Structure 1
């Protein structure tokens, strides 16, 4: 068995992977929740959320050029804070968060599928989980190419929603243009921030990226900018076309946009939501297996996972384990409650990674890609504030 992954991923595939992870299935339900807080200023809330995520994304970008390894966060924390124990804990937390997130998205995606096709729920769930795990085992290029196709389907669907929204008559809420309530925009921005979680997955592909010192920062930042614009535009047409009261109580807000603009059935959006879910599940399986692969190099007890198949170039055992845990989680766990923990886990990781970069920059200022010290400081403070807000709202 090989102990090295194959460097075959370029900027295009890596960026598409990042955009696909961030967009995911959440955009199909999250816009309504953000609009409930921010009103017609929901697009502004998404832009603010993108700005909140930017410092941490920049910190990840610098670290990804300093230490272009799988299990990126674990490597960053291990070096920056000089603690291999904390590094392994962080790595396992990322695996857990990715697995729980994938299980939740898998359940949601299969739920959408049963609305489109009359299939047994459990059988469909098992079949999709096995199929996506098989793709992830088969090869990273195949996995990311399939994820890129899913991403294109998602973007086409969102493009059609934007078209329908612009064709709809503006609702009274939009025409009246009430003054900005900044507390509502702030609350909406914190909620919208969770839609940007996913850029951190990009760094765990570092050992399979060509010229990671150049490619990684560009992919992270392009994906963040593209996603921010997409969210803001989708939020704009949504609050323009659908009354706020209807948005706040709907679990399918984009279907309301389609119906407002065309008067037709929005069943096709359920189909697109299935592809969005498949994208999210596949991306998380690929990411979490790379984290396990990287942890195998750092900890003897996990060394069994630090092997790649010579032919496929993928960490087969790690991928099968992650795929199996996703399937079990989707079948037997109360995934909705666990999914609420995912954001808190990742925000805690963001705080620690920003802190690690502060220490690392003080010891060694030079890096292939550098950001000013104020960037990780701002990332630490913003992620910390979002974490506190998230914990308070859960209590």
Structure 2
């Protein structure tokens, strides 16, 4: 059965997202685990200029976002980077690996968020539990996310709206506390321009190493293209909405980092896994810490929900393009959601949660995988310039994808000071991808032989 024939027998995804919902989806996806958990780690590498790596990460993400805008308005379908790779190069192996890398990045991010949710949940209740219980609660949380995802994109996006407002409120509280304290003479504003390198590294390489961490906080904008088939008039609304979402989050990150380093020295900020909680304690000792703990918990919960939505829609889109087995493209007739893909990605997320590691390792691996994918997407823009479509679409100057490909490739390299374990995790994940690709090719060959 061809892809066209399957589209006549399978229901279409439901178009429920307008500009407002899409904007909140993008903001909610970018905000979350990264800024709440990694601000201290970035400060450990550069000291007071903690805002600079976030600003550079924003600039790099913006270049690639322009490339995504040209492609999503040109091909407004689910599957995102994998679809663009398939159209540009036509190599099934490369397409599958890109799809698996993007899916892995989303699932890895969701697994990290689930573990952070569990840790904050137990802390908020004042429970002193072992690692096994933390993992169990995180697994149950992922099952709940899968149930919400299965119920429907409308319900999922509406929940995302509420969680996005909560996590945005948390960051605005940090900004408000920071600048209120500055106005009243608290903290030390001079730290904002103080550079304290990690080890013997100079300014350049310290900032680059910090940027590889900060980039994890900027990823998420690419997930929105996987929701293209559930958006109303995606070719028209995507450019303005995506760029607005990136600009809002970039400004928030810089302001949060300035507020944080003003109130808490870099050495203290880098200790532990709750840097922003320390900012609240330093700037507003009377503020109920438990409330901010709940906000943090819900913020990372939103990251898990959005990433699992993205991963399942990516698999759905690739199945409809005949790149992976058709079973992963099945849509539930009642709920109009890709239920097989949801179940598959949830099982993978649970496996990563149990075996893969903690926030620094998984967060860094997420950024590494996406930087490699972004480099390919930027090249795909240039290759696909020869492919014309009938409808109008967004077009960017050629220099943007060229710079995007160069900067993403540079930040993915080992010369940046990236933890070697991230390459091991990424290699293991891609190794699994190779095995699945071989299995997919075998199944398709047997199916075609049987039909012949």
TM-score (norm 1): 0.92
Flag the structure with larger Rg.
Answer: 2
Conservation of the 8 A alpha-carbon contact between 2:33 and 2:217: no
Q: How does 1:110-189 map to 2 (within 5 A)?
A: 110-117=118-125, 118=127, 120-168=133-181, 169-172=185-188, 174=190, 177-178=193-194, 182-183=203-204, 184-189=206-211
* 2:32 maps to 1:27: no
Deviates further, 67-76 or 340-349: 340-349
How many Å separate the matches in 1 of 2:358 and 2:393?
Answer: 40
Conservation of the 8 A alpha-carbon contact between 1:65 and 1:212: yes
Number of residue pairs aligned between Structure 1 and Structure 2: 395
* 2:113 maps to 1:97: no
SS in 2 for 1:40: coil
Q: Could you report, residue by residue, the CA deviation over 1:309-355 in whole angstroms, capped at 9, with x for unpaired residues? A: 23322111111221232223323443554554322211111111111
Conservation of the 8 A alpha-carbon contact between 1:59 and 1:357: yes
The 1:135/1:357 distance shift into structure 2, 3 A limit, reads same
How many Å separate the matches in 2 of 1:175 and 1:89?
Answer: 43
Q: How does 1:295-310 map to 2 (within 5 A)?
A: 295-299=318-322, 301-310=324-333
Shift of residue 100 of structure 1? 1.8
Deviates further, 77-86 or 348-357: 77-86
Conservation of the 8 A alpha-carbon contact between 2:177 and 2:280: yes
* 2:216 maps to 1:219: no
Partner of 2:19: 11
* 2:262 maps to 1:240: yes
Q: Could you report, residue by residue, the CA deviation over 1:202-253 in whole angstroms, capped at 9, with x for unpaired residues? A: 1100111110101222232122111101101101111111122212334222
Deviates further, 25-34 or 373-382: 25-34
Q: Could you report, residue by residue, the CA deviation over 1:70-104 in whole angstroms, capped at 9, with x for unpaired residues? A: 11111101111232332122112211221122112
The 1:383/1:177 distance shift into structure 2, 3 A limit, reads closer
How many Å separate the matches in 1 of 2:266 and 2:416?
Answer: 27
SS in 1 for 2:48: helix
Partner of 1:253: 275
Deviates further, 90-99 or 151-160: 90-99
Shift of residue 363 of structure 1? 5.0
Partner of 2:298: 275
Q: How does 1:31-50 map to 2 (within 5 A)?
A: 31-50=39-58
SS in 2 for 1:370: coil
Partner of 2:367: 343
Among residues 345, 356, 359, which one is paired with 1:322 in the alignment? 345
The CA RMSD measured in Å over matched residues stands at 2.4
Conservation of the 8 A alpha-carbon contact between 1:103 and 1:335: no
Deviates further, 135-144 or 381-390: 381-390
The 1:300/1:175 distance shift into structure 2, 3 A limit, reads closer
How many Å separate the matches in 1 of 2:309 and 2:137?
Answer: 21
* 2:111 maps to 1:85: no
How many Å separate the matches in 2 of 1:343 and 1:193?
Answer: 6
Deviates further, 179-188 or 226-235: 179-188
> Which consecutive unaligned segments of at least 5 residues does structure 1 have?
none
